[in-house]
Structure 1
Amino acid sequence: MKNKLILVLGLIALGLGCLLAYKIAKKYPHNKEMALQKQTLPNFQLYSQNLKPFSAKQLKENEAICIFYYNAECEHCQYEATQINKQLTLFKNVQIVMISTNKPQETANFAKTYKLDKAGLIWLYDKDYAFYKWFGKSVTPSVYIYNAEHKLVKEYTGEVKIEAVIKYLDNGKEG
């Protein structure tokens, strides 16, 4: 009886292992495609805070871009916002794009709370939860740094110190 139980449990474990391996192998091409897609700034289409469509083509050419994917209620995102405010002068030749699924009023409150409302940042609303289509699955906060040629230089998932972001902003070179 004990041997049959061990055999059944072993077969179940083997079956689960095969299922897991299959699911991982099935997702690998998609993940690889996403990684390649974001190597050059994707032509994402989101919304401005007044709900007008906003495309990546509306960003300035020949200027670095720093995308912060955040959530106003996330304490790590709040920390990063505080740090951006403290280091804002170091972003003077960079387009800062703040993207969130927060409604425009929540974003306005967030921007005002962290004194970023008059800083010239681009605030975008991911109304349709479509960010993943261009950047893959992302946690909040996530940061994507593109150089002046709009090539991905560095990507961070999770909280990151702003000093780490800034070192990649000088024409995409670690400095």
Structure 2
Amino acid sequence: MKPLYFLFLFLGFTLTACSQDAPLNKDIPPYKILTSDSVYVTPANLKKNIPVMIMYFAPDCPHCQHMTMEITKHIKEFGNTQIVMISFVNPQVQFKALPKFVKDYQLQKYPNILVGTEGYTYVVQKFYQVRTTPYFAVYDKKHKLVETFAKIPEVQDLVKAVKE
């Protein structure tokens, strides 16, 4: 009976340790991203009293591309939400992919969307313990965490979270 107890205890710890839960820290991560305009941006650049949605993505990820299309299709429903799209990996490689991504999805048309890469720092990836992309984190107007989405959400779920 004891070995069975320890097996379940071990499985419980293992499954919880590997899950992609919301971060314990409810603040916006201390990112420093480089935009395709060669400008570094941090959370200090965010406007006060406006909700924030962070999308951790990869430009070559089909699910990320689909979610970007859905977000832009429903951009009016997000109101004035600041949408920060953060990618990862080598900035030189991303600088070929990021401008193309921005251009392909016409993201320059949306003043509330910012796209950049965190390069090799992985600050945001570690902060949220991201294992798959896209990953979303929604913050209220006081920039406190409302909800995270480790699985691909419906756009209406993102809109609902932003309005809470």
Identify the TM-score tier after normalising by the shorter chain. 0.7 to 0.9
User: Under a length normalisation based on structure 1, what TM-score does the superposition of the two structures give?
Assistant: 0.73
Partner-residue secondary structure (3-state), 2:162: coil
Unaligned runs of 5+ in 2: none
Q: CA deviation at 1:65?
A: 0.2
8 Å CA contact 2:34–2:40 kept in 1: the answer is yes
Q: Which residue of 2 aligns with 1:36?
A: 24
1:93 aligns with 2:80: yes
Unaligned runs of 5+ in 1: 1-13
Name the stretch that deviates more: 96-105 or 131-140. Answer: 131-140
8 Å CA contact 1:50–1:104 kept in 2: the answer is no
Counterpart Cα distance in 1 of 2:130 and 2:85: 17
Counterpart Cα distance in 2 of 1:109 and 1:118: 14
User: Under a length normalisation based on structure 2, what TM-score does the superposition of the two structures give?
Assistant: 0.78
Q: CA deviation at 1:129?
A: 4.1
Which ranges of 4 or more aligned residues in structure 1 deviate by more than 6 Å?
none
Q: CA deviation at 1:56?
A: 1.1
Partner-residue secondary structure (3-state), 1:169: helix
Counterpart Cα distance in 2 of 1:92 and 1:54: 22
1:149 paired residue among 117, 137, 142: 142
Higher relative contact order (CA 8 A, sep 6+): 2
Count matched residues.
152
Counterpart Cα distance in 2 of 1:169 and 1:129: 27
